[in-house]
Amino acid sequence: MSTITWTVTGMTCGHCVKAVTEEISAIPGVSDVAVELESGLVTVTAETDPTADAVAAAVDEAGYTLVTA
């Protein structure tokens, strides 16, 4: 198992957290997603490291932006 933390921008409410959590959870191998609304931090636990591209695509599908730099 590995754990990686990213920052997501644009989240403002509980619905945002739910949408981001659901989209990232759908990535194969992801076992847990923890989203902190106030800080925008998203911690992903997975069997193998999900790529930043896969997480960015999932976050984009939810309507938000993954900070990769």
* Structural domain spans, the chain: 2-67
CATH architecture of 2-67: 2-Layer Sandwich (3.30)
The answer to whether the pTM exceeds 0.75 is yes
Half-sphere exposure of 33 (CA within 13 A, CB side): 25
pLDDT digits (tens, 9 = 90+) for 2-57: 999 999 999 999 999 999 999 999 999 999 999 999 999 999 999 988 899 999 99
